[in-house]
Amino acid sequence: METTKPSLPGVAVLFKEAWALYQEKFWLLIGVTAIPSLLTLLAGVAAAAFSLSMEDFPTGGMLIAAIIGVIILIVVSIWSEAALLTVVVNHSHKFTDAFMQARLFIIPLFLAGLLCGIITLGGTILLIVPGIIFATWFSLYSFALIDKNLKPVEALKTSKRYVVGRTSKVLWKWIVPGIVYVVIAILLNAILSMFGLDKDMASSLGGAILGVLVAPLWALYGFRLYSYAKEDSHPASV
């Protein structure tokens, strides 16, 4: 049984605080998140164009090119995520500083994310509910890793310690913005489709737009949640 902990602020309060920070650091946040989104979009366009001439390209060479491209995209995405987190958590004020600091967190973030994914997947295979619980416990690991410069396993343990005792409340605070995000994504794809874009292109462009504009706000929201959970991580007396 979980030990009861102090209540966390509501979704509206967290969003309001995240929105204020978002406005304050808007251009820096957009600059940091634009790189992987643009690369992903360009990669999608290049893949589509490349597939049209694939008959004239050796299968082995095409496979190697695809693998290299995927690896580059993964590294850039994690690096950009780390840079975004350094802006959010460590309050970096310059684009170059964010990426210079972030390079130290690329491998730890990758390993922590991999461990989190394996544990969550294992729980989901056994039963859906344990997978949801594990995902909620570890939902703050990236903030803990950057904030405290922790190793991957310690970051996961820290996130769990902050969440246990109010798992259902933390889960709800992730579900609400998640639903809003899905609704926005559906509406954006529908709007883009009205301009004559096919389904795949509308989805790629919509994902890029959301990645640039919404990902920073999502990170700020998560950081505010993490900050409150960290402050109130000690069990309340009953």
Taking residues 208-218, what's their average pLDDT? Answer: 86
Q: What are the CB-based long-range contacts (under 8 Å, 24+) for 43-51?
A: 43/69, 43/73, 44/200, 44/204, 45/204, 48/200
Pick the most confident of 6-10, 26-30, 202-206.
26-30
Does the pLDDT value for residue 196 go beyond 50? yes
Say if CB 206 and CB 185 are below 8 A apart.
Answer: yes
State how far Cα 46 lies from the chain centre.
25
pLDDT of res. 127: 80
Does the pLDDT value for residue 237 go beyond 50? no
Q: Which of 49, 65, 39, 45 is nearest to 201 (CA)?
A: 45
Q: Which of 160, 158, 221, 117 is nearest to 2 (CA)?
A: 160
The amino acid occupying position 77 is: S
- Kindly state the greatest CA–CA separation across the chain: 72
Does the pLDDT value for residue 221 go beyond 60? yes
Tokens matching residue 199 = 């389904």
pTM of the model: 0.82
Say if CB 141 and CB 160 are below 8 A apart.
Answer: no
Tokens matching residue 108 = 């730890």
How far is CA 196 from each of CA 40, 181, 192, 200, 201, rounded to the nearest angstrom? 21, 23, 7, 12, 10
Does the pLDDT value for residue 205 go beyond 70? yes
